């Protein structure tokens, strides 16, 4: 590379020398004029001199450019030489690395070849051993086949000897032996089964009694304390006169609006409210308390207080349902089911409060489920909803069990819960353990001492039937059974019923009551037709 640069520099210097010699000669020849003529004139010499100077300057410039280019070329050549040296060193390093790697690969290859050779040798030895083993097995099988033939011959000889001695063939002897063993096994199995059934029955009865006893003992609940009378305390005896009103106007308006008998006797600072319907009686109690607290008692105020009290009773029902679920630890129930459950707070069954009966049954079912290692929450849910249909029995025809099952299915309850509800009175065949335990919890809660009173339930049903008979006639607005069932007050719409038709309704109701119901004494049927005119002074 360096020699090439030197050659290029020498060529550049020769070219400059040639230019320096040739250019003046050309200029002098150009200034010499024609051949045979006189010498150059002064102008020509001056021109030639100027051109010579110009050529010299151009030569100097060319020389400087050539020198600069030569220097640049020399620098590039040196840089290229350095790069070449560096690349040469890198190539030599890589070559050494490749040689080392090739050596390692060759060594690894030799090791693998040695291992393969050793493995092939071992495989050959194993193949020889397997061949020897196969030959040994073949010889052994041949020997065993010979022995088997000999044993079969000996066994046949023994069988023939035994048949001659016993007088039976082998099949006959086998059949008799199997029959004897089978009869003995059946007899022993029957004895074992009878013993197991007896022990299982005793143990089952013992465990069932224990579970039921523990469940009943762990549930502490109150005795039946339902009544048809509520006591309202007054701030003073003078309030009784305000409640009665002028010529009994207020007490008549109160009884006709609420459907509850208001009893004012000699009891100091107290009056009694009598009604078989606990919801109606509670509404009347709240109404009377509001009126006494306000002090203004007249027919219009009675109606306003009664409307507000009905809304409060609805709120109390919802709260009662929520409290019952909180007590049982159930939180994920549809709001409509909660509301229906709360309405059972004022419903009784044979004197037993239905809501308390449901909570009590749920506790009993949860305890039994825990003893049997079932899901207590599922059993509580089945039991607390098993009488939910009683909240709508006066609105929907049918059994409360089937009504409750339909309600639970409509609001997304589990199919096991629905089945337990519809089967708790055996109206549907029982298919699950949950349904059986629901029946048991219901029976325990209803049959415990002090839980129910048959007479009160019959009395309430008779009064409900009285109201149903009167309510079935067209034009009837409200019906109230009062005076312990000795009087029925029927409120009719004045725009739909006239005075003559009111008398007809009274006679028809009395006749239907005589035909359908059994009761002591007599029942008064009072049909009330009242017209009102209201205007506002502005």
Q: pLDDT digits over 301-355, tens only?
A: 888 899 998 888 888 888 888 888 888 888 888 888 888 888 888 777 766 778 8
**Side-chain-side CA neighbours of residue 237 (13 Å):** 4
For residue 60, the model assigns a pLDDT of 78
For the chain, the straight-line distance linking the first and the last C-alpha, in angstroms and rounded, comes to 126
Angle, alpha carbons 396-398-404 (nearest 5°): 75
Distances (CA, A) of 245 to 150, 239, 250, 305, 308: 126, 10, 5, 17, 22
CA dist 517 and 508 (Å) reads 14
For residue 415, the model assigns a pLDDT of 92
CA dist 221 and 210 (Å) reads 20
C-beta separation of 478 from 257 below 8 A: no
DSSP state of 224: P
CA dist 501 and 387 (Å) reads 40
Q: Enumerate the β-bridge partners of residue 263.
A: 272
CA dist 356 and 222 (Å) reads 9
Closest of 250, 272, 269, 244 to residue 260, by C-alpha: 272
Contacts of 113 (CB under 8 A, 6+ apart): none
In the block, residue with structure tokens 């020997």 = 143
Lowest mean pLDDT among 269-278, 408-417, 450-459, 509-518: 450-459
C-beta separation of 336 from 361 below 8 A: no
C-beta separation of 388 from 407 below 8 A: yes
Q: List, for residues 387-401, the tens digit of each pLDDT value.
A: 888 887 555 667 788
Closest of 254, 243, 242, 244 to residue 281, by C-alpha: 254
For the chain, what is the largest distance between any 2 Cα atoms, rounded to a whole number of angstroms?
186
CA dist 15 and 7 (Å) reads 12
Strands 524-529 and 487-492: parallel
C-beta separation of 385 from 413 below 8 A: yes
For residue 457, the model assigns a pLDDT of 65
Residue 127 has pLDDT above 60, yes or no: yes
For residue 225, the model assigns a pLDDT of 44
C-beta separation of 523 from 513 below 8 A: yes
Q: Enumerate the β-bridge partners of residue 525.
A: 488
CA dist 170 and 176 (Å) reads 10
CA dist 66 and 143 (Å) reads 111
3-state class (DSSP) for residue 182 = helix
For residue 211, the model assigns a pLDDT of 67
Residue 36 has pLDDT above 50, yes or no: no
The CA-based dihedral angle spanning residues 261, 265, 269, 272, taken in that order and rounded to the nearest 10 degrees: -20
In the block, residue with structure tokens 């009891």 = 267
Lowest mean pLDDT among 114-118, 207-211, 260-264: 207-211
In angstroms and rounded to an integer, the radius of gyration of the C-alpha atoms of the chain is: 61
Residue 473 has pLDDT above 50, yes or no: yes
Contacts of 76 (CB under 8 A, 6+ apart): none
Give the model's confidence band at 204: pLDDT under 50 very low, under 70 low, under 90 confident, else very high. confident
- The pTM for the full model equals 0.44
- Domain borders along the chain are 2-145, 221-311, 329-452, 455-538
Give the model's confidence band at 28: pLDDT under 50 very low, under 70 low, under 90 confident, else very high. low
Contacts of 271 (CB under 8 A, 6+ apart): 231, 232, 234, 240, 243, 262, 263, 264, 288
Contacts of 31 (CB under 8 A, 6+ apart): 40, 44, 45, 47, 48
In the block, residue with structure tokens 């051109």 = 51
CATH (residue range 329-452): 1.10.3210.10
Residue 411 has pLDDT above 60, yes or no: yes
CA dist 422 and 345 (Å) reads 21
Residue 88 has pLDDT above 60, yes or no: yes
Mean per-residue pLDDT, 124-128: 91
Mean per-residue pLDDT, 429-442: 88
Domain 455-538 class, CATH top level: alpha beta
For residue 166, the model assigns a pLDDT of 66
Give the CATH architecture of domain 221-311. 2-Layer Sandwich (3.30)
DSSP state of 222: P
| β-sheet with 229-233: strand ranges across | 229-233, 270-274, 261-263
Residue 26 has pLDDT above 60, yes or no: no
């Amino acid at each position: 590379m360096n020699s090439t640069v030197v050659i290029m520099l020498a060529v550049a210097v020769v070219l400059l020398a040639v230019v320096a010699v040739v250019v003046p000669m050309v200029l002098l020849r150009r200034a010499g004029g024609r051949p045979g003529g006189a010498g150059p004139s002064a102008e020509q010499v001056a021109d030639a001199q100027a051109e010579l100077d110009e050529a010299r300057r151009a030569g100097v410039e060319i020389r400087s450019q050539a020198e600069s280019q030569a220097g640049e070329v020399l620098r590039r050549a040196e840089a290229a030489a350095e790069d070449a040296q560096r690349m040469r060193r890198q190539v030599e390093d890589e070559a050494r690395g490749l040689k080392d790697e090739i050596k390692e690969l060759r060594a690894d290859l030799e090791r693998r070849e040695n291992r393969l050779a050793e493995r092939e040798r071992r495989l050959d030895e194993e193949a020889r051993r397997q061949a020897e083993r196969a030959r040994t097995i073949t010889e052994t099988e041949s020997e065993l086949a010979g022995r088997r033939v000999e044993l079969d011959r000996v066994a046949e000889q023994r069988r023939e000897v035994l048949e001659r001695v016993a007088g039976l063939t082998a099949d006959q002897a086998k059949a008799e032996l199997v029959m004897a063993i089978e009869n003995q096994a059946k007899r022993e199995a029957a004895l074992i089964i009878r013993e197991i059934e007896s022990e299982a029955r005793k143990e089952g009865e013992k465990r069932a009694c224990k579970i039921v006893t523990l469940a009943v003992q762990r549930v502490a609940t109150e005795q039946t304390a339902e009544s048809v009378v509520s006591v309202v305390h007054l701030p003073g005896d003078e309030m009784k006169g305000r409640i009665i009103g002028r010529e009994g106007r207020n007490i008549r308006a109160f009884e006709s609006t609420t459907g509850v008998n208001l009893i004012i006797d000699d009891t100091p600072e107290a009056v009694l409210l009598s009604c078989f319907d606990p919801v109606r009686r509670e509404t009347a109690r709240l109404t009377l308390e509001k009126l006494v607290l306000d002090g203004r008692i007249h027919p219009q105020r009675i109606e306003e207080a009664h409307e507000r009290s009905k809304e409060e009773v609805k709120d109390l029902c919802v709260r009662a349902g929520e409290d019952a679920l909180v007590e049982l630890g159930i939180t994920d129930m549809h709001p409509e089911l909660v509301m229906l459950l709360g309405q059972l707070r004022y419903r009784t069954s044979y004197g037993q409060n239905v809501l308390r009966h449901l909570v009590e049954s749920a506790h009993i079912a949860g305890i039994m489920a825990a003893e049997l290692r079932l899901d207590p929450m599922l059993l509580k849910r089945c039991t607390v909803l098993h009488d939910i249909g009683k909240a709508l029995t006066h609105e929907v025809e049918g059994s409360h069990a089937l009504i409750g099952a339909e309600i639970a299915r409509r609001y997304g309850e589990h199919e096991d819960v629905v089945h337990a509800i519809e089967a708790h009175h055996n109206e549907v065949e029982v298919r699950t353990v949950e349904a059986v335990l629901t029946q048991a919890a219901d029976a325990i809660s209803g049959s415990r001492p002090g839980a129910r009173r048959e007479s009160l339930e019959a009395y309430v049903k008779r009064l409900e039937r009285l109201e149903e008979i009167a309510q079935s006639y067209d034009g009837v607005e409200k019906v109230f059974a009062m005076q312990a069932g000795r009087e029925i007050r029927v409120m009719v719409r004045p725009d739909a019923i006239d005075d003559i038709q009111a008398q007809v309704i009274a006679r028809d109701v009395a006749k239907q009551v005589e035909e359908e119901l059994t009761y002591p004494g007599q029942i008064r049927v009072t049909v009330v037709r009242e017209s009102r005119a209201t205007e506002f002074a502005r």
